Amino acid sequence: MKSQLWIEWLRKQPNAALRLFCFHYAGGTAQRAHQWAKQLDQDVELCAIELPGRGKRFMEPAYTNLEQLLNDLIPVIKPLLEEKPFVFFGHSMGALVSYELSRRLQHEHQLRPQMLFVSGHAAPHIPRQSVIHQLPHQQFWDRLLQLNGTPKDILQHPELVELLTPILRADFAVCETFGYTNTIVLDCPMVVYGGLDDPSVAAAELELWRSHTSNACEIELMPGDHFYLHNPSQHELTKHVNQHIQALVRSVTSLA
C-alpha cells in the first residue's frame, strides 16, 4: 500500500527489461515526468517518486531531512529494485536524492542502478555558497524566480504563494542540510546533465561528479538554464537518455 503513495506508475510494462525511476526537483511532482512515457524505449517501465507535501500526498508533511526521507523510502522501493534491473534519473533536488539513495542501496543492500543520471546539481561534496530555505519571504521568492522555474506572475496570487512556500522551503532544506561524507564511492556508470546557462550550477561543478563513481562518468551540457529540461532541450535530453537506456536494455536482454 505504501508503494502506491510513493511511486507513480507512468508506464507499466510487466515484461520490460528495465525500470526507470524519476526523482523530481524542489517543488516538483511525480507527474512532471509523464511526458517521457511516449518518448522512451518501449521495453522500459517508467516510475516517478512522489514525495510528501504535493500531488496525491499534499496533506502529508514534507521532509526537511534527506536521511529521514531515505529511511522511509528504501523499504518501499527496495522490493521493486530486486525484481528487475533499474536506473535512476534525478534533477536538482532529485539528483541529490537519487545519488544518496544509490549510495545507501550499494552499501547497505548490495543493490546498484545500471546507470545513474543526475541533472542540474553540483557535485555533492562542493560546499554550498548560500542557504535559500532560511531566507526571508521576499528574498526567498526572488531567489526562486532567478532560477526561472517558477512563473513570475505567481506572486500575483497570494493564496498560491502561501500554499507553495512551506513545501519549497522544506525541499530546499532537504538539500541544504545534507552533510556529505566521502565514505562510499559508487561503482555504477553515471551521466551528468546541466544547462549551459544555469546560474546556480557551473559546468566545472558538474565535472566534479566524476570523483563520485569508480565507473564511467559522462558530462553533457544542454542549451538552457536550470530548468532546461522544460524547454525545447527536453527532446534532446530524452533522446540522449533513451540512447543510453536502449544500450542498457540490449545489455540486460543479452545476459538473460
d(CA 18, CA 86): 5
At residue 256, the 3 state secondary structure works out as coil
Decide if 190 contacts 116 (C-beta within 8 A). Answer: yes
Q: For residue 95, give the H/E element and its range.
A: helix 93-109
Buried b (16+ CB within 10 A) or exposed e, 85-97: bbbbbbbbbbbbb
Find the catalytic residue in 92, 102, 119, 233. Answer: 92
CA 8 centroid distance within chain: 14
Decide if 24 contacts 94 (C-beta within 8 A). Answer: yes
92 is catalytic: yes
**DSSP assigned state of 63:** P
Q: What are phi and psi of 241, to 5 degrees?
A: -60, -40
Q: For residue 217, give the H/E element and its range.
A: strand 217-222
Residues annotated as catalytic (active site), given as ranges: 92
